[in-house]
Amino acid sequence: ALDLKINDVVEKLNVEPQLVNDIGQAVNELISNSIRHGFSSKISISMFMPTEEKLIITSLDDGIGPRTGSPGLGSFLFDSLCGSNWSLSAAIGGGSLSRLEIGLA
């Protein structure tokens, strides 16, 4: 099951098509990683903008949580989109919590 919450401001976001594509790729990677690596069956993704210059995307799943190992393609994608402003951690009660902070300015 996928639960997607998008703030009204995000729905009206006006950015370059390439950034829209990159954001879509990042969300796809969050979902894919939750299923492929975390074996999750429930994923909740939220998008909101605390300021006009920043988009936050969070992902919470019910999988087995983050695993150790070498960074994969998702890590490189998140690095290129967010720099060091992203995280992956174990969620309270199990699963994984991801947070991406994307600069829009």
Residue 86 confidence (pLDDT) above 80: yes
Q: 57 near 17, Cβ under 8 Å?
A: no
What is residue 14's predicted lDDT score, i.e. its pLDDT?
85
Separation between Cα atoms, residue 93 and residue 75, nearest integer Å: 24
pLDDT band at 65 (very low <50, low <70, confident <90, very high): very high
**Could you tell me the pTM of the whole model?**
0.92
Burial classification of residue 47, based on how many CB atoms lie within 10 Å of its CB (0-12 exposed, 13-18 middle, 19 or more buried): buried
